[in-house]
Amino acid sequence: MKKNEIYDFEVIDNGMNFEGIAKKDDMVVFIPGAIITEKVRGKIIKVNKNYAIAKVDEILKKASFRETPFCEVFKTCGGCDAQNITYDMQLILKRNMVKSVLDKLNVEYEILENTIGMGLPLYYRNKVQYPIREENGVSKIGFYKKRSHSIVSNECCYIQNRVIDMLAKDIFSSFIKHGFKGYNEATNDGDIRHILIRRGLHTKEIMVVIVVNKEELFEDLKILDIAKEFARKNENIKSFVLNLNTSNTNEILGSKTKVIFGSEYITDVIGNYRYFISAKSFFQVNTLQAEVLYQTLKEKLCLTGKEILFDLYSGVGSIGIFLSDKVKEVYGIEIEPDAVHMANLNIKENNVENAEYIAGSVEEKIVEFKNRNIKPDVIVVDPPRKGLDEKSIEYILDFGPKEIGYVSCNPATLARDLKLLSSNYNIKSVTPVDMFPHTSNVECVTVLQLKENM
């Protein structure tokens, strides 16, 4: 198999990024845009030792669940990768994806549920974060093109809340009109790097975050005028924040933040609980499905009201607080101090008297609980995409809680961690939840129970 050669392929599966998977001459071939059951003709564009990548030239046999993408920039934008597949099939493929990574590592589980989807899988994101870039002397707002940092502009993003999607573009236009420039990655120059906007689904409260490239912009009166102008036009704008990021990095937010108008936080509601959200704190981007996610966890865990629960990687405390009415005590650990501050505000706001949150890394702070002789009956974890580190797994196994609730945004690291935890635990159920329709991402709620002989 050589580059630029053309072959016909039978697509036998879809991968972690919903790319088609075929086999040719004992070689695995990844074919972006192809769908399981299809026959396609494609050109080889890359050949490695263990796999090749092909580009679709022609669809010879179309899948029955192939769909015309509804977004005009679907083929170039890097935001969505599943609009060409019917939504029901997306849910099936996401379950298959989870099953594939679990089976690959021989992870034994009792139940793998069907993926829980959304009734209306559109306009669900409560957080918009647009890069602002200067290209060829012109400032642009949009998403990155696939596998690049070139900007793809769009009139409408169908997975983002329409209010904040349009607001981001209006704010961008105002900044450009006032003489500000987008960020130039090549020269590390320019004024505005990102526009980030959060909106409470139930409260309708809006926070605007402008990520700037120069600290002197913190005192720029023109920005304050822009903030006040938009707050006058939209009474739901409760916070206007500047964040400084001068590093040459892919990180969106820097370490320094200044509120120039309004409050330092907004609020939203999940279930019966109201949560404070700041510029830097983690909060699920799909509010409706977050409630489904947390309720699924609450129902799958065998909680009696007598348990001590550890909430690890706790963010603003949303999971622990949601479960607080079903346990005796909640202790949370989160590495981001700002999020812990929010968690403690959330405790007070919701009159939760049985929860305590501390700032620090899980692997370091979990020792403090051990030294205080606080032993969990249940541990809930919601780690970043990299999953649990080895130390955290060691401490979890050492504590030996009767149950573990694992919320994961990455099936691959979930499978890896479950394999390690399965030495002491039975995996009772894995439930995929579609937090991100029309993308290949899937969240999972997994419940593990301590083996009887442990």
What are the tens digits of pLDDT across the range 242-282?
999 999 888 899 989 999 999 999 999 999 999 999 898 88
Residues 152 and 252 in one domain: yes
Segment 226-231 shows an average pLDDT of 96
Residues 445 and 312 in one domain: yes
- Decide if 77 is catalytic: no
pTM for this model (two decimals):
0.92
pLDDT of residue 147: 79
Q: Is residue 80 part of a domain?
A: no
Q: Is residue 277 part of a domain?
A: no
Query: Do the beta carbons of residue 56 and residue 9 sit within 8 Å?
Result: no
Q: In the chain, how many domains are there?
A: 3
Residues 28 and 114 in one domain: no
- CATH code, domain with 294: 3.40.50.150
Q: What percent of the chain has pLDDT over 70?
A: 100
Residues 359 and 422 in one domain: yes
pLDDT of residue 395: 87
Give me the DSSP letters along 138-176. EEEESEEBTTS--EE--S--TTB-HHHHHHHHHHHHHHH
Confidence label for 301 from pLDDT (cuts 50, 70 and 90): very high
Of 223, 244, 270, which closes a domain? 270
Nearest to 387 by CA among 350, 358, 360, 412: 412
- CATH code, domain with 222: 2.40.50.1070
Using DSSP bridges, classify how beta strands 425-433 and 443-450 pair: parallel, antiparallel or unpaired: antiparallel
Q: Is residue 243 part of a domain?
A: yes
Question: How high does pLDDT run on average in the chain?
Answer: 94
Of 270, 298, 315, which closes a domain? 270
Residues 136 and 255 in one domain: yes
pLDDT digits (tens, 9 = 90+) for 115-126: 999 999 999 999
pLDDT digits (tens, 9 = 90+) for 393-416: 998 998 999 999 999 999 999 999
Residues 394 and 257 in one domain: no
Residues 106 and 157 in one domain: no
Using DSSP bridges, classify how beta strands 378-381 and 403-408 pair: parallel, antiparallel or unpaired: parallel
Residues 313 and 363 in one domain: yes
CB neighbour burial string for 378-407, b if at least 16 within 10 angstroms, e if fewer:
bbbbbbeeebbeeebbebbbebebbbbbbb
Residue span of the structural domain in which 153 resides: 127-270
Residues 435 and 399 in one domain: yes
Residues 12 and 154 in one domain: no
Residues 204 and 295 in one domain: no
Which member of 71, 77, 157, 409 is catalytic? Answer: 409
Q: Is residue 247 part of a domain?
A: yes
Tokens of 340: 């812990």
Q: Is residue 83 part of a domain?
A: no
- Please give the residue that has the higher pLDDT: either 315 or 160: 160
